[in-house]
């Protein structure tokens, strides 16, 4: 995606400025809901952990978390903030590239608002990586902006359902698209769309939970 605005640089700037600092102690609604589905003491891989609120919440519930983000700035901040947590580790990771984790090594892969930055072809590769690192019957839980979001169609179109606005790229998911991504890899346990404020802005989302086949 080199011909598009670099999203790593975009988020490095935001995290260095601490623009999401207000959400450090506020796990998302989605995190609280899906954690109830985790097996006891689950091993969890989080993709795009941001300021670490969801990762911290999962750790507090007794799970062991590897929380990743492609922003080196936010990973450094999180490593300092949560240095006393033995069951919570932070790691820089570009999820558009093959994951450096063993096959079938996690009970859960979790992604909150972190999968909607990639073209269709890259998104499908990421889903394959997730399928590989999840244990059989493991959970894949993700939430993304949906095609009903107020920002859908705004800015420069990159490809179908994907737009760039003021340097920020978003790939909006439909329920049909989510089903296509899960086809032959995951059995869908939950698929629903809705609306809520996300980081202070009215938004529309799709949330999906599937079990690894």
**Which residue(s) pair with 139 in the sheet?**
108, 211
Write down the CATH number for the domain with range 7-212.
Answer: 3.40.50.150
Q: CB–CB of 123/151 below 8 Å?
A: no
**What are the structural domain ranges in the chain?**
7-212
pTM score, two decimals? 0.91
Give per-10-residue mean pLDDT for the chain (213 aa).
57 57 78 98 97 97 97 93 95 96 98 95 97 98 98 96 93 97 96 93 97 97
Taking residue 124's Cβ as centre, other Cβ atoms within 10 Å add up to: 12
Is 2 exposed, middle or buried, given 0-12, 13-18 or 19+ CB atoms closer than 10 A? exposed
pLDDT one-digit tens code per residue, 2-28: 456 566 665 565 555 565 565 567 899
């Amino acid at each position: 995606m080199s011909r598009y605005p670099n999203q790593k640089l975009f988020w490095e700037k935001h995290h260095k400025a601490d623009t999401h600092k207000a959400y450090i102690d506020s796990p998302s609604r989605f995190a609280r809901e899906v954690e109830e589905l985790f097996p006891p003491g689950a091993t969890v891989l989080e993709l795009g952990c941001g300021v670490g609120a969801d990762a911290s919440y999962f750790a507090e519930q007794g799970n062991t978390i590897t929380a990743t983000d492609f922003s080196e700035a936010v990973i450094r901040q999180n490593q300092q903030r949560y240095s006393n947590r033995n069951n919570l580790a932070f790691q820089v990771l570009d999820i558009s590239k093959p994951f450096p984790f063993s096959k079938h090594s996690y009970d859960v892969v979790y992604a909150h608002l972190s999968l909607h930055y990639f073209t269709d072809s890259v998104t499908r590769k990421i889903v394959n990586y997730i399928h590989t690192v999840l244990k059989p019957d493991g959970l894949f839980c993700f939430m993304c902006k949906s095609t009903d979001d107020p920002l859908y169609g705004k800015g420069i179109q990159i490809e179908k359902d994907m737009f760039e606005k003021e340097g920020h790229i978003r790939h909006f998911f439909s329920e049909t698209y989510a089903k296509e991504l899960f086809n032959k890899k995951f059995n869908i346990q939950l698929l629903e769309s809705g609306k809520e404020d996300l980081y202070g802005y009215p938004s529309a989302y799709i949330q999906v939970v599937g079990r690894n086949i």
